[in-house]
């Protein structure tokens, strides 16, 4: 196999794919769901239903709250009981629509037949509109509204669609199980994405620890000219957008630039499937595969769960929350967020729920930096985490900027590799946040100055004309 | 906050790996130098650990960190740089200088600028030049009554200084072969005689990813080329790599985490200069051995290298081209 990988840094955390043999199980529909209105990167959606409204599966309950925003649909049929706030994965309170479940009645417009529909009837613009209408967002966790990503600035010429089926986060198997269950649908989804972008080529990047998925996708892809499967060497963070582009086509996303500058448009494999369902089956994004896993959990599982399902229900279905649980993480162990409380609800971007026993969750005490440079060798962006951490800690922001703290992708490879257990990324994140703030302020100031200069120039010209 | 998982590698495990890598050379030194080597090693390790513990607990009043094993590594490396018949009180002084001045005075592990074992060694070399340069020949197993001989490096220096071609040939006749140097059946400091044992440890460190190849390989390459330039000849240049602590220094001392540069490009530059300086000191300096001084000099340049040599950035080269 001709395996590729990205060029700089990277680490090898234990894969711990406990649920990679578990089939996708349809999770029970709960008695009540709470569907958060902040499920995408960008502006939250605005709730368009009120207490007492009757909804069906697929009924629009939230509209985009801005350009970078998306529609939200009901995942169940029943009655809206209230519009209240719920904690998201980080504990932040976000508005949510509570729906009491009555039966399971779907909107008639949704094609519920299982037949594969290959012919793409819609044109480029219709596909993008449909993707928006069906509330599709990036399913890898970043939840970037897909219709926005499919309309890059006209200056860039897309050349290739790259499908992110890397799943480099330890423990998670949702993409893996999706590929095994819906290979053909994913490939049609890829065709739709190619059409939307006006490109002929697509590369599906899969890490080598999923040989069954690689074999299956390679076999099925033969019927789809221009679409190839690229096996990738195991290395975290290969699923990072910049790293994946680098691994697949060898190009580097310029610092501060858009990934599309390389000609590559990256979409998660789950997004490709969601796009298939949206465009071919008219099905909004209201359910997804989520891995519920952990060493202490009785039955690590892959569930097809409705958005808005209480996470506690899913954990219960996987064998219940073990007594010695130290952390419940939304996402994988490298980039996932430890949730302050389990009282949270499924969202579109939730690829996994990881239960960590106390013993594993506790961080070891940090000792002084021995300057071993392991963090430097681990950093996939070619930064020096040890010094970024120091500048961030001491609030020396100009130096942190000089050392390109803004290039940090927060993958956690530095903290992971530190033999002295120093929480490097915790510090770097703070410094990065402040430097990004300064950069934004500087850009705003420059723009204001340019605008003022332009206005002054125009004002000068006015009397001349008169 | 993420990440929620962590590598199994710790400071302690790194130091343990260095000790494992040093084991073959330690065993060789015990075999070749017998009782003396055992006594010197034990004294050096024990004094380093005790000094570190006492200084941290009673002078700095911090929790002693001897469990990270770094003091043991310093102890073994210091012992490796000493002749096996050296009086033990000198070893203890060396350990005090290494740990007290070389490490603790700068703030302990991670903060020192110079390699502690080398600070100890160089101090002893200057303070006790006679005892530090009387090298027992390999196979003299005792401690007090040992056979001594000139080291290959001393022979090279004499050879360059020889006034007649006959005298030069006579000196060369005493020179051990490169194979002897590789195996370690020559005179020298305890840990530096067997290049083979040290190389074995190098392989282990590379496999365990404790160190990268950059500094040692740069040192060997630069030293070989520099030796050729300085007129040692192809065979003599190879001998330069195999003697006088070149292996020990390049693999175990120049790669010391704290005192070497923080990225691979920096390590290559640092290594090249160590190689060049070592040969220049050996050829033109007052001391026949240059490795210790070369490493210490480049330790001093490490902060400057770190300031000016940055790792290869992702996504920057292409942006600059536009």
User: What's the complex ipTM?
Assistant: 0.88
Q: Which residue has the higher pLDDT, B34 or B95?
A: B95
- DSSP bridge partners of B205: none
A238 CB neighbours in chain B (<8 A) are: none
Cβ neighbour number for residue A448 with a 10 Å cutoff:
10
B5/A13 touch (CB, cutoff 8 Å), yes or no:
yes
- DSSP annotation of B108: S
Tens-place pLDDT, residues B199-257: 999 999 999 999 999 999 999 999 999 999 998 888 888 888 888 788 999 999 999 99
In chain B, whose CA is at the least distance from the CA of A372? B257
User: Nearest-CA distance from A247 to chain B in Å?
Assistant: 13
Separation in Å, CA of B296 to nearest CA in chain A: 17
Please give, one letter per residue, the 3-state secondary structure of chain A: CCCECCCCCCECCCCCCCCCCCCEEECCCCCEEEEECCCCCCCCCEECCCCCCEECECCEEEECCCCCCCCEECCCCEEEEEEEEEECCCCCEEEEEEEEECCCCECCCCCCCCCCCCCCCCCHHHHHHHHHHCCCECCCCCCCEHHHHCCCCCCCCCCEEEEEECCCCCCCCHHHHHHHHHHHHHHHHHHHHHHHHCCCEEEEEEECCCHHHHHHHHHHHCCCCCEEEEEECCCECCCCHHHHHHHHHCCCCCCCCCHHHHCEEEEEHHHHHHHHHHHHHCCCCCEEEEEEECCCCCCCEEEEEECCCEHHHHHHHCCCCCCCEEEEEECCCCCCEECCCCCCECCCCCCEEEEEEHHHHCCCCCCCCCCCCHHHHHCCCCCCHHHHHHHHHCCCHHHHHHCCHHHCCCCCHHHHHCCCCCCHHHHHHHHHHHHHHHHHHHHHHHHHHHHHHHHHHHHHHHHHHC
The per-residue pLDDT for B150 is 66
Cβ-based interface (< 8 Å): residues of B facing A: 1-7, 9-11, 13-14, 65, 68, 70, 108-111, 212, 257-258, 261-264, 310-319, 322
- Gap from B10 CA to chain A (nearest CA, Å): 4
Residue A256 C-alpha, separation from nearest chain B C-alpha, in angstroms? 9
Q: Give me the sign of the Cα torsion angle A327, A333, A339, A340.
A: positive
pLDDT at B187: 66
Looking at residue B140, its pLDDT comes to: 58
- Nearest residue in chain B measured CA to CA from A377: B263
The rounded distance, in Å, linking the Cα atoms of B262 and A375 is 9
Question: In chain B, which residue's Cα lies nearest the Cα of A12?
Answer: B7
Q: Which residues of chain B neighbour A429 with C-beta distances below 8 Å?
A: 1
Which of these, A153, A146, A135, lies nearest to A59 by C-alpha position? A135
Chain A residues lying within 8 Å of B265, measured CB to CB: none
The reported pLDDT for the residue numbered B138 is 66
**Residue pairs spanning A and B at CB distance below 8 A:** 144
R_g over Cα of chain B: 20
Mean pLDDT value across residues B293-297: 95
Q: What residues of B are in contact with residue A17 (Cβ under 8 Å)?
A: none
Would you place residue B320 in the very low, low, confident or very high pLDDT band (cuts 50, 70, 90)? very low
The two three-digit tokens of residue A286, written as one number:
């209201």
The one-character DSSP state at B136 is B
Q: Which of A380, A384, A416 sits opposite B5 (nearest CB)?
A: A416
> How many Å from the N-terminal Cα to the C-terminal Cα in chain A?
73
Contact residues on chain A for B111, CB-CB shorter than 8 A: 368
B31: tokens are 């075999």
- With contacts defined as CB-CB under 8 Å, which chain A residues touch B13? 419
To probe the interface with B, which of A255, A336, A365 has the most B CB atoms within 10 Å?
A255
Residues of B in contact with A363 (CB under 8 A): 6
Angle at B3 between CA B1 and CA B4, to 5 degrees: 85
Residues of A in contact with B6 (CB under 8 A): 363-364, 415-416, 418, 421
**What does the pLDDT look like over B65-94, one tens digit per residue?**
888 999 999 999 999 988 888 999 999 999
Which chain B residues have a beta carbon less than 8 Å from that of A331?
A: 2
Name which of B1, B110, B317 is nearest A370 (Cβ-Cβ).
Answer: B110
Nearest residue, CB atoms, A254 vs list B3, B111, B315:
B315
Higher pLDDT, B155 or B305: B305
Cβ <8 Å between B314 and A382: yes
Cβ <8 Å between B110 and A368: yes
Largest Cα separation within chain B, whole Å, is 74
Residue A333 and residue B311: Cβ atoms within 8 Å?
no
Which residues of chain B are within 8 Å of residue A374 when distances are taken between CB atoms? 9
| pTM, entire model | 0.90
The structure tokens listed for B98 are 């290494």
d(CA A243, CA A51): 46
- Comparing alpha-carbon positions, the chain B residue that sits nearest to A367 is B11
> Which of B2, B258, B312 has the CB atom closest to A370's CB atom?
B258
pLDDT for position B322: 39
10-residue block means of pLDDT along chain A (466 residues)?
88 94 93 93 92 94 93 96 88 92 94 92 94 94 91 92 96 96 96 95 96 96 95 95 96 92 96 96 96 94 95 94 91 91 88 91 88 95 96 94 95 95 95 94 92 86 61
In this complex, do B9 and A419 lie within 8 Å of one another by their Cβ atoms?
yes
Chain B residue at shortest CA distance from A409: B314
In residues, how long is chain B? 322
Burial class (CB in 10 A: 0-12, 13-18, 19+), A329: buried
Mapped onto helix, strand or coil, the DSSP state of residue B192 is: coil
Q: Indicate the DSSP class of residue B183.
A: H
CA dist A352 and A336 (Å) reads 9
Distance from CA of B30 to the nearest CA of A (A): 30
Question: Which chain B residue shows the shortest CA-CA distance from A368?
Answer: B110
DSSP-based three-state secondary structure for B110: coil
Q: d(Cα B201, Cα A96) in Å, to the nearest integer?
A: 61
Set of chain B residues whose Cβ sits within 8 Å of the Cβ of A384: 262-263, 310-311
* Shortest alpha-carbon distance between residue A425 and chain B (Å): 8
Q: Identify all chain B residues contacting A294, using CB atoms and an 8 Å cutoff.
A: none
| Residues A334, B2: C-beta atoms closer than 8 Å | yes
Q: Point out the residue among A253, A334, A379 whose CB comes nearest to the CB of B5.
A: A334
Q: What percent of chain B has pLDDT over 70?
A: 92
């Amino acid at each position: 196999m001709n395996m590729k990988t990205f060029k700089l840094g990277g680490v090898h955390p234990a894969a711990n794919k406990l649920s990679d043999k578990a089939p996708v199980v349809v999770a029970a529909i709960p008695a009540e769901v709470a569907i958060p209105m902040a499920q995408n990167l960008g502006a939250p959606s605005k709730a368009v239903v009120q207490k007492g409204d009757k909804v069906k599966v697929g009924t629009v309950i939230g509209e985009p709250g801005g350009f970078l925003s998306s529609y939200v649909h009901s995942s169940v049929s029943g009655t809206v009981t209230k519009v209240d706030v719920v904690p998201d994965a980080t504990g932040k309170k976000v508005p949510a629509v509570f729906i009491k479940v009555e039966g399971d009645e779907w909107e008639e417009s949704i094609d519920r037949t299982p037949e594969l529909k290959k012919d793409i009837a819609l044109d480029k613009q219709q596909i993008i509109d449909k993707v928006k209408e069906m509330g599709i967002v990036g399913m890898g966790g970043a939840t970037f509204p897909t219709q926005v990503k499919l309309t890059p600035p006209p200056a860039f010429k897309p050349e290739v669609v790259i499908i992110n089926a890397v799943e480099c986060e330890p423990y998670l198997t949702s993409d893996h199980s999706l590929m095994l269950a819906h290979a053909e649908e994913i490939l049609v989804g890829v065709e739709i994405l190619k059409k939307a972008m006006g490109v002929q080529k697509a590369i599906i990047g899969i890490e080598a620890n999923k040989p069954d998925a690689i074999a299956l996708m390679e076999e099925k892809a033969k019927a789809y000219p221009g679409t190839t499967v690229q096996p990738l060497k195991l290395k975290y963070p290969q699923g990072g957008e910049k790293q994946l582009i680098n691994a697949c086509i060898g190009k580097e996303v310029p610092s501060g630039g858009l990934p599309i500058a390389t000609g590559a448009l990256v979409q998660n494999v789950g997004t490709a499937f969601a796009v298939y369902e949206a465009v071919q089956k008219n099905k909004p994004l209201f359910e997804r595969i989520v891995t519920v896993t952990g060493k202490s959990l009785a039955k690590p599982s892959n569930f097809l769960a409705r958005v808005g399902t209480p996470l506690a229900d899913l954990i219960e279905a996987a064998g219940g929350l073990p007594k010695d649980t130290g952390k419940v993480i939304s996402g994988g162990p490298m980039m996932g967020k430890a949730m302050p409380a389990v009282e949270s609800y499924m969202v579109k971007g939730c690829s996994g729920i990881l239960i960590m026993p106390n013993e594993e969750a506790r961080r070891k005490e940090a000792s002084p930096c021995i300057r071993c440079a392991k963090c430097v060798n681990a950093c996939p962006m070619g930064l020096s985490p040890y010094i970024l951490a120091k500048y961030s800690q001491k609030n020396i922001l100009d130096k942190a900027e000089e050392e390109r703290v803004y290039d940090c992708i927060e993958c956690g490879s530095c903290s992971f590799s530190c033999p002295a257990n120093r929480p490097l990324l915790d510090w770097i994140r703070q410094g990065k946040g402040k430097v990004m703030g300064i950069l934004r302020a500087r850009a705003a100031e420059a723009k204001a100055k340019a605008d003022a200069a332009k206005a002054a120039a125009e004002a000068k010209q006015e009397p001349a004309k008169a | 906050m993420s990440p929620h998982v962590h590598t199994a590698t710790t400071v302690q495990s790194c130091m343990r790996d260095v000790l494992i890598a040093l084991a073959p050379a330690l065993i060789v030194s015990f075999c070749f130098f017998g009782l003396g080597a055992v006594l010197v090693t034990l004294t050096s390790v024990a004094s380093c650990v005790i000094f570190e513990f006492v200084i941290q607990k009673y002078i700095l009043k911090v929790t002693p960190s001897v469990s990270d094993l770094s003091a043991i590594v310093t102890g073994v490396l210091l012992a490796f740089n000493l002749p096996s018949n050296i009086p033990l009180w000198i070893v203890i002084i060396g350990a005090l200088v290494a740990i007290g001045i070389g490490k603790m005075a700068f703030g302990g592990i991670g903060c020192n600028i110079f390699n502690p074992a080398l600070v100890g060694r160089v101090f002893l070399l200057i303070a006790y030049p006679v005892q530090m340069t009387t090298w027992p020949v390999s196979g003299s197993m005792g401690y007090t009554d040992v056979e001594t001989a000139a080291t290959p490096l001393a022979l090279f220096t004499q050879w360059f200084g020889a006034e007649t071609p006959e005298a030069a040939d006579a000196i060369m006749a005493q020179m051990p072969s490169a194979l002897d140097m590789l195996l370690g059946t020559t005179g020298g400091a305890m840990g530096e005689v067997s290049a083979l044992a040290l190389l074995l440890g190098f392989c282990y460190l590379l496999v365990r990813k404790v160190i990268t190849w950059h500094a040692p390989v740069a040192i060997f390459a630069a030293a070989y080329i520099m030796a050729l330039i300085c007129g040692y000849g192809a065979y003599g240049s190879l001998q330069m790599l195999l003697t006088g602590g070149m292996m020990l220094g390049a693999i175990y001392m120049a790669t010391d985490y704290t005192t070497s540069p923080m990225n691979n490009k920096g390590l290559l530059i640092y290594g090249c200069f160590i190689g060049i300086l070592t040969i220049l000191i050996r050829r033109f300096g007052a001391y026949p051995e240059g490795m210790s001084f070369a490493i210490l000099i480049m330790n001093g340049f490490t902060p400057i290298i770190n300031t000016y040599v940055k790792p290869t950035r992702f996504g920057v080269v292409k942006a600059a081209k536009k």
